Amino acid sequence: MSEGGFDAYGVDAAYDRGAAVCVIGAGMAGLLAVKNLREHGFTVDCYERETAVGGSWNWRNDRSPVYASTHLISSRPLTEFPDFPMPDDWPDYPHHSQVLGYLERYTDHFGLREHIWFGSEISRVEPTGDGRWDVIVKPVSGNAARRLRYAAVVLANGHNWDPRMPEYDGMHEFRGEIVHSSAYKEPSKVRGKRVLVVGAGNSGCDIAGEVALNAEETWHSSRRGYWFVPKYVFGKPGDQALAGLDWLPFGLRQKVSEIVLRKVVGDPARFGMKRPDFRLFGSHPIVNSHLMYHIGQGSIKPKPDIERFTEDEVVFADGTRAKPHTVIMATGYRTTFDFCDPELLGMTGPDDAPRLIAQMLSPKAQTLAVVGLVQANGSHFPLAHWQTVALAKWLRLRERDPQAARAFWAKAVPDAGRRYVHGHLNDTARHRLEVSHDVYLKALGDLIQELEGVK
């Protein structure tokens, strides 16, 4: 953590950017941070390792996880930013290229581009000891690193790019191909092949459907049962239909939603899948309409968890076997911050999961924040929007009323790591980022009003 840490980069005196704020990443969350911080009067420098905005949604980016048929799984009116609507003649579930177009429009409409340095990777973020930050910026091509000093740093580097690969016995002897879902881009690669898709998250179920239309044979392996919310319920986008029950107290809403989904979707066991072993909203439901359809046509064969691999086969927990050419692991992503001390983000526990104030502010430093680090049952866009508004209000409160800021901080630090979920959610590292959309939104609204001094 010493100043000496920078010697390795051969960069000397920091260029002092005064009261400016540094934003890392120009994906959905980073763009929001630039726009909303600027709107609150801050000078902002944003660094993006790619040469374009959009992050995950930009299929040209190396680390983009989108595949040819990726569409939003949250419906348009619930996905759009609260102060920049998507065109209302777009479909209910826009294609990934439309989402990118929307983010590009947002960038230009609000004149954000001139504040973004493209092809610039942040390789180090270190506290200077007086509440400010030294940041090392490396051009992606070339090696002339620069050191800059900022009043605050916002991490918006995303958490859908570092593949989480499970380990199975015999996996390394398997002669077929094993790839992570992030490397799966288009269905032509699986045409005429036998394919096993592993993982029943949103990506796994979605990819299984796309593969099923193209592969010779498709298996889908899942460890546990899930609740499925179809893209349409009673002729309305599923999230809108369920939002219609928001006025009910949570317990009743859960019960009614479960009944509705059991009626509309049916019994997973009838399709050869596991029943969910938890209540609805206890873990995020999967938004998918075509999995059961394909199972019903025999074009997807459901399988339980993988037990082991042999040289040419996969053996499942129920003893059955499959002989795929390709195994696609839709097993999620790790949360990785390789450019700063994990302790700053409260990643001190054995599970390596961040424990932040309001799931966004570092509990160790008042001027370090992470935005977009959530996994929600619904759109991430409005959540990240209000996070960046709250962040701007917080940084402004520190400047305007140090005493009120100290009082807020003293109260907030012990609360770090609080979960914003209904009832009891799974607390494993994998589920640590999960929030219930409505609970977290409301908490952010309250936080904003508190920071503004509204009673």
Partner 1 sequence: MTRRLDVTRGLDYRDPVPHAHREILAVLPEDPTGKPPLLFVSGDPRGARVFTEHWLPHAAHRGFPAHALSVRGQGGAAKVKGDLRAHAHDLAQAAASLATRPVLLGHGKGAAILAEGLARYPARAAVLIAPRLGRTVPPPPAGEPPILVAGDPGDKRAPQAALEKTGAHYGVAPLLFQGAGHDMMLNAAWREPLDAILDWLDKLTEEERA
Q: Which two tokens stand for residue 160?
A: 């859908």
160 binds, among ligand FAD, partner 1, none (CB under 5 to 8 A by kind): ligand FAD
Helix (H) or strand (E) run with residue 385 in it: helix 381-400
DSSP-derived 3-state class of residue 308: strand
CB of 158 or CB of 163, closer to ligand FAD: 158
Site map 144..183 versus ligand FAD, x via CB under 6 A: ------------xxx-xx----------------------
According to CB under 6 A, which residues from 193 to 222 bind ligand FAD?
A: 203
Buried/exposed code over 222-243 (b: 16+ C-beta within 10 A; e: otherwise): beeebbbbbbbbeeebbbbbbb
For CA atoms 309, 315, 321, 324, give the dihedral sign: negative
Angle at 100 between CA 96 and CA 106, to 5 degrees: 145
Q: How far is the CB of 248 from partner 1 (least distance, A)?
A: 12
Distance CA 62, CA 57 (A): 11
* Secondary structure of 269-290 in HEC code, one letter for each residue: HHHCCCCCCCCCCCCCCEECCC
User: Near ligand FAD by CB under 6 A, which window of 18-26, 208-216, 234-242, 297-305?
Assistant: 18-26
Given the DSSP bridges, would you call strands 44-48 and 21-24 parallel, antiparallel or unpaired? parallel
Q: How far is the CB of 15 from ligand FAD (least distance, A)?
A: 17
* Candidate list 26, 136, 241, 368; residue touching ligand FAD; CB under 6 A: 26
User: Near ligand FAD by CB under 6 A, which window of 42-50, 127-135, 356-364, 430-438?
Assistant: 42-50
Q: How many CB atoms lie within 10 A of CB 103?
A: 23
Distance CA 446, CA 246 (A): 18
CB of 46 or CB of 443, closer to ligand FAD: 46
Binding of residue 72 to ligand FAD (CB under 6 A) = yes
Distance CA 391, CA 382 (A): 14
Binding of residue 86 to ligand FAD (CB under 6 A) = no
* Candidate list 339, 347, 431, 439; residue touching ligand FAD; CB under 6 A: 339
Q: How far is the CB of 245 from partner 1 (least distance, A)?
A: 9
* Candidate list 23, 34, 42, 48; residue touching ligand FAD; CB under 6 A: 48
Q: How far is the CB of 47 from ligand FAD (least distance, A)?
A: 5
DSSP-derived 3-state class of residue 127: strand
**CB-based contact 49:26 (threshold 8 Å):** no
Q: Which two tokens stand for residue 151?
A: 């009043």
CB of 87 or CB of 349, closer to partner 1: 87
Helix (H) or strand (E) run with residue 257 in it: helix 250-265
CB of 245 or CB of 404, closer to partner 1: 245
Cβ partners under 8 Å of residue 395, min gap 6: 21, 37, 40, 42, 152, 367
Q: What is the DSSP letter of 309?
A: E
Binding site for partner 1 (CB under 8 A): 39-40, 77-78, 82-85, 87-89, 105, 108-111, 239-240, 243-244, 246-247, 382, 386, 438, 441-442, 444-445, 448-449, 454
Q: How far is the CB of 89 from partner 1 (least distance, A)?
A: 5
User: Near ligand FAD by CB under 6 A, which window of 26-34, 215-223, 300-308, 360-368?
Assistant: 26-34
Cβ partners under 8 Å of residue 449, min gap 6: none
267 binds, among ligand FAD, partner 1, none (CB under 5 to 8 A by kind): none
* Candidate list 11, 21, 22, 24; residue touching ligand FAD; CB under 6 A: 24
CB of 133 or CB of 440, closer to partner 1: 440
Residues in contact with ligand FAD by the rule CB under 6 A: 24-30, 47-50, 55-57, 65-66, 70, 72-74, 79, 121-122, 156-158, 160-161, 203, 339, 372, 379-381
